[in-house]
A and B are shown apart, each in its own frame.
Chain A
Amino acid sequence: MSLKIHLQESNTPTLSLEGRLDTHTAPNLDKILDGVLARKGIQRMVFDLGKLEYLSSAGIRCFVRARKALEPAGGKVAIVNPQPAVQKVLEIVKAIPEGGIFRSIAELDAYLDEMQRKVREGE
């Protein structure tokens, strides 16, 4: 029972989490987040929780930390496909704002496309 972290590097870094994100494993995610958040110009970041089985407040700290790093610069943290138990924890502590949780990657992509279109139209 541990946490597997898969980082897909791109303009929108995607972190796929598998297993348990708790007091024990959160430091591992923190280290990777250090690397990701250190990069300049990241607007968006995605956590794919499709295979995350367990989440405790220690894990939520990571998401909140990512939000605090990105959102002041207008960035956004998206959570994709959380399991019910995980989603329950996220909702209880309101770690991710309304509209930050997506049921799937496809839903996220559609949302992101919409956002880009709005930005283009706005320019």
Chain B
Amino acid sequence: MACVSTEVTAPAARGFRTIRGRLLFWVLAVTVPIYAATLYLSYQSAAERLEAGAARDADDLASTLAASLDTVIRPIEGGVRTVAYQLEEVDPPREEYPLRIHGILAAWPDVYGSTIATEVNGQDPQSRPFAPYYFRRAGRIEYSDLALDSYSYRDLPWYRRAADSRAPLWSQPYFDEGGGDIWMVTYSAPFFRKAPAGRELAGVVTADLDLAWVRDVARRVTLGPTGVGWLTSPPASRTFVATLGETSRRIASDETGDETRLREHAERMLSAHEDFSLLADGLAHQPTYVSVRVLETLGWRLTVAVPQHELLTEARRHLRQQLWSGAAGFLLLILAISFVAARVSRPIHSLAVAVGRAEEGHLEFDLPAPSTRDETGVLTAALSRLRDSLKRHVELRAETLAAESRLGHELQIAARIQQSMLPHGAAAQTPEGTRVAAALVPAKEVGGDFYDYFVLRDGRLLFAVGDVSDKGIPAALFMARLSGLLRVLGNAGSPPEQLLAELNARIVDGNDACMFATLGCGLLNPGTGRLQYASAGHDPPLLRRADGVVLALPVENGPAVGIDAGVEYRLAESYMAPGDTLVLYTDGVSEVETGDGEQFGAARLAELVRSDSGDPQSLVRHIADMATQYAADSQVVDDLTVLAVSLQPAMVEGWIDTRGEHWRIRPAATVVGIQQAQRWLRAALLARAVPAERIADTELIAEEVLTNIARNNAARVRELRLSIECTLSAAGIALEFRDDGVAFDPFARTAPRLDADITDREVGGLGIHLVQQVADESAYAFVDGHNVLNIFLKFSPTPHGATA
């Protein structure tokens, strides 16, 4: 035997769908941008600090360089101005000039050469150009006379500018071509002598400074690993340039144009009064910071260029460090969150896995033990309680369903029993000459409606329809009791009003449940059409006459049975004509409602009864179908019961035409047959409310004529065919007697001698006389071998006594 086991798989939550995944995602989603922004700002601030530092470094470098230059230059300035002052104050003779010049050279080894050039006064013929120049060459001091004709020193800039400005000043650096072949700068200080017109220029003292040392000073400057810089003289046709630090090695030749580009940029910065800026196309066409300063000394420019990447190297290194440490931090964060989230969500996860397996019919899932006292613990405990109560509920429901099914089965059996209590139209249950049909549509399996009909020992038909106040099982039990009592009590043959009273007395006794029932009960004599009826709170039955008239049977209603003891009921007596049908129903039929609350109603029921044929079978079926259909869109909420009894004696046939309602009776030509024919005539006429006198007349005529016919054919062997057709119209009653016996005209006999002495009178022979006297019209004919006797009885007032 193959055993298939199905594993119930729960949809396990994974990845982002787990609490841990989402916690990680959201924590990182929030912290990573914050950290990135912090890093960025930190980097920006570091870069700004570095830039500010670079600018400050340039300032420092500028002041350092200026100081370095000043240590050399300022003393020379002082010395030269001292000599100039002494020349002015002392005014030594020209012969002492070389001594003083030597003094200068001796005092300052950086001074390449020096001269004292005298002014030439045009008014003084004594005055001649005099400019002894002493200079260093190969370690010795040599002499040169500048006052040679070829060298008109007074027109040279070093002399002219100092003379014109009447103040000491430095020349621009210049390359002493042909002289020392070195870069030099000359300090010129004018000296004056007292004259009537004030101080007049007496000459100029100069010191030529070899700028080689400036290059040394510049070379000693320390720049960054890739930085470059220059100390340059103000722009001129030929500019002195001293490279700073390692610059000369970094930019050996200006093939790339970097130097030119940077220095031009520096000049532009100066004109724009900028001292620090970023040149996008700087060193090696890379972004480069450029600082430029103008030294107070000599107005020289200091230009320093540092590639951006170098300046920001520190910031970038720092940024990298921070990135690495941040990454490590995030890794730790992820681990920590994972750990914490796992700890928090593990119970929830195992809870989800356990509960996820749950489904109807599989509630045996194991819940993890509630380890914590947090929400998860509460949830687990609650789910455990929920599961247990659900299990109990499911078990309870299964038990309930089983009980319901058992009850349903019992109800089915009960319904069958209840159905079997109802008569089913067996021939034994209906007397000859009647037809009965009934239907009961219970709203539930069993109901409180019932009907019954059965033949009493005297041949009458007892029929009843009842409706118990409640529905369902209580009503069914009550109905069973009522039905049994009706059978027992009804068989005694008491008239309906007594039957109801007895029934009520029995039911009231011990009716602790206070149930009650409406009940309509009738007795029909199938041989005479006599109907007795009584009602205990029930709707009056409908009488469908063969002529199509439908009317409610006039009944005086009594109280429902089961309420009060000692209740009396009233009997309603009437007659049914052959072909008439009586319809009994419960309010389930008349009060059945459509979905929108419209009642089927007694009027609709009456119309249905009128339009249908008088056959109980079809009538009952139609009413039940119609009422059920009517309730189809809602539901049959009350039991529906309908019962129809029709009187259909075998010897009578009825029909209607324009002349009126007809009954044809075919009695046997016997005493009993005659009596039966009389009864049917009587029943039909009573049922149509014909005046009693005319009914009596009709009966009398029928008896006399039929007796006469029977007597005339008494010797006959073959059965006599005899019929009476009674036609009821508004004018009166027409009777046609027809027989195939010997031709005999009853009216041909002489009238009996009524006035004769009793001893002379015949005992018989009075019948035809009676007929003639009672009838309004009478005629005899012999047609097609039949005796046909027509009698007419008017309804109009006929003073009959007068004819006698």
Contact = CB atoms under 8 A, between A and B. Distances in A.
Contacts of A88: 693, 800-801, 804
B755 A94 contact: yes
Interface stretch (B227-235, B598-606, B672-680): B672-680
Nearest to A60: B766
A92 interface: yes
A24 B671 contact: yes
Contacts of A23: 671, 674-675, 703, 707
A71 B766 contact: no
B804 A57 contact: no
A92 B759 contact: no
A65 B754 CA distance: 14
Given A23-B674, A68-B758, A89 B700 contact: yes
Interface in A28-46: none
B763 A58 contact: no
Interface in A1-24: 1, 22-24
B696 interface: yes
A23 B632 CA distance: 59
A92 B755 CA distance: 12
A56 B703 contact: yes
A97 B754 CA distance: 10
B770 A92 contact: yes
A72 interface: yes
Interface string B685-705: 000000011001001100110
A64 interface: yes
A22 B773 CA distance: 18
A85 interface: yes
A61 B764 contact: yes
Contact of B674 (A24, A72, A84): A24
B759 A61 contact: no
A84 B759 CA distance: 27
Given A1-B679, A71-B759, A92 B804 contact: yes
A91 interface: yes
A57 B772 CA distance: 13
Given A1-B679, A57-B764, A93 B700 contact: no
A92 B764 contact: no
Contacts of B679: 1
B774 interface: yes
A16 to B, nearest CB: 21
Contacts of A68: 758-759, 761, 763
Interface in B745-804: 752, 754-755, 758-759, 761, 763-764, 766-767, 769-770, 773-774, 800-801, 803-804
Contacts of B692: 85
A54 B703 CA distance: 11
Nearest to B674: A23
Contacts of B755: 94
A93 B767 CA distance: 9
Interface string B654-692: 000000000000000001101100110000000000001
A89 B772 CA distance: 12
Given A23-B703, A56-B703, A71 B773 contact: no
Contacts of A84: 693
Given A1-B679, A58-B707, A72-B759, A92 B773 contact: yes
B528 interface: yes
Given A57-B704, A58-B707, A88-B800, A64 B763 contact: yes
Nearest to B759: A72
A58 B678 CA distance: 15
A2 to B, nearest CB: 10
A1 B528 contact: yes
Contacts of A61: 763-764, 766
A93 B769 contact: yes
B502 to A, nearest CB: 26
B696 A54 contact: yes
Nearest to B696: A85
Interface centre among A56, A68, A84, A85 (most CB of B within 10 A): A56
B800 A22 contact: no
B704 A64 contact: no
Contacts of A71: 758-759
Nearest to A96: B758
Given A24-B674, A61-B766, A64-B761, A91 B693 contact: no
A68 B761 CA distance: 9
A89 B679 CA distance: 19
Residue of B703, B755, B800, B801 most packed against chain A (CB within 10 A):
B703
A87 to B, nearest CB: 9
B769 A92 contact: yes
Contacts of A64: 758, 761, 763
B699 A24 contact: no
B770 A89 contact: yes
Given A22-B703, A85-B693, A89-B700, A57 B767 contact: yes
Interface in A70-108: 71-72, 84-85, 88-89, 91-95, 97
A56 B671 contact: no
Contacts of B758: 64, 67-68, 71, 97
Given A58-B767, A88-B804, 17 more contacts: A1-B679, A22-B675, A22-B678, A22-B703, A54-B699, A56-B704, A57-B703, A57-B704, A58-B703, A61-B763, A67-B758, A68-B761, A68-B763, A85-B692, A89-B770, A92-B770, A93-B752
Interface of B: 528, 671-672, 674-675, 678-679, 692-693, 696, 699-700, 703-704, 707, 752, 754-755, 758-759, 761, 763-764, 766-767, 769-770, 773-774, 800-801, 803-804
14 contacts: A24-B675, A57-B704, A58-B767, A60-B766, A61-B764, A64-B758, A65-B763, A68-B758, A71-B758, A72-B759, A84-B693, A85-B692, A92-B803, A93-B769
Interface of A: 1, 22-24, 54, 56-58, 60-61, 64-65, 67-68, 71-72, 84-85, 88-89, 91-95, 97
> Top 7 closest A-B pairs, CB basis?
A57-B767, A85-B696, A94-B754, A57-B766, A92-B773, A91-B804, A93-B766
